[in-house]
Amino acid sequence: MAPTRALLRSARPLLSSPASPVHHHQLLHDFLAPALFSSSSRRSLSSTPPPSQATPATTNNAQSHSRDGGAQQKPKKLKPLTPEQQSFLSSALRVNQAGELAATLIYTGQTPPLISRHPHLRPLMEHMYDQEASHLKTFNTLLAKHRVRPTALYPLWSVMASGLGWGTAIMGREAAMACTEAVETEIGDHYNSQIRTLLSMVTEWEEQGYDVGDEFRELIGTLRRIRDEELEHLDHAVQHDSKKAEPHWLLTGVIRAGCRGAIWVSERV
């Protein structure tokens, strides 16, 4: 289907990243701290070395330059990410992008068999596809911005997601909806867990008197919005009889286990 091809095409430059393998590890190692905090830290660096050379002092948020020479307000600093936090964030963006690609392909695979037998489902399928395509675009942008490599198993997930979408739609409307129910349940949990981790980072920084930074807050807001849309898809699936799929427990159990496995692998590979 054309939109999917376009998405894959747009994702391809990420797959065949021009960065040489030699530099790859290095890029992964330090991508997030300067990038996530760029907008505020760069404000403070107008006459200082580039962000990649940042020392703790240069990560200060110089928004708080004294106003008229005498601000009493304490300057708030941005705390650089620890290697563990950088690694968490790069894994999170990578797995989210893989999941959203899979979601677009599941709906792309489901739509033709489904709407040929149930034309009234076309608007719903288009609506869900459009939201998934927008999620994928969001993570494509974030991966490129923070120079995170996509999962190495991108092609495998693509084939499996398309097969899952098409296969469940062939089984019938209820099975297709059970697939959506299973996938969106896992994805909703997955986003919730990421949001919890990011919020605990925010709490820690705030307790230590650091600024959180607009970009980090924006990321949390984006994840919350996407999580809500995934849960909306879950509701649509249940409203359209996902629970009537036969055998529901087996279908959703297998698909949910598959999602968890794919998430686990994509976070690492």
Residue 100 assigned ligand-binding role: yes
Query: Is 206 annotated in some ligand binding site?
Result: no
Nearer Cβ to Fe ion, position 44 or 180? 180
The single-letter code of the amino acid at 6 is: A
Q: Which of 133, 131, 161 has its CA nearest to residue 228?
A: 131
Selection from 124, 115, 154, 123 nearest residue 13 by Cα: 154
- In whole angstroms, how close is the CB of 220 to Fe ion at the nearest point? 17
Please say which residue, 89 or 259, places its beta carbon nearer to Fe ion.
259
Q: Rounded to the nearest whole angstrom, what is the least distance from the CB of residue 104 to Fe ion in the complex?
A: 8
Phi and psi at 78, nearest 5°, equal: -95, 130
Instruction: Considering the complex, state which of residue 86 and residue 96 has its C-beta at the smaller distance from Fe ion.
Output: 96
Is 100:227 a contact under the CB 8 Å cutoff? no
Pick between residue 174 and residue 230 the one whose CB is nearest to Fe ion. 230
Q: Is 230 annotated as a binding residue?
A: yes
> Between 27 and 115, whose beta carbon lies closer to Fe ion?
115
**Residue of minimal CB distance from Fe ion?**
135
The conformation of residue 60, written as its DSSP 8-state character, comes to B
CB of 228 to Fe ion, least distance (A): 10
Residue 160: Cβ within 10 Å count = 16
Taking the complex as a whole, the smallest distance from the CB of residue 172 to Fe ion amounts, in Å, to: 20
One-character DSSP codes across 34-46: HHHTHHHHHHTTT
246 is in an annotated binding site: no
Q: Is 174 annotated as a binding residue?
A: no
Residue 126 assigned to a binding site: no
First-to-last alpha carbon distance for the chain, in angstroms, is 28
- Half-sphere exposure at residue 40, Cβ-oriented, CA atoms within 13 angstroms: 24
Q: How far is the CB of 180 from Fe ion (least distance, A)?
A: 8
Residues marked as binding? 100, 132, 135, 184, 230, 233
Residues annotated in a binding site for Fe cation = 100, 132, 135, 184, 230, 233
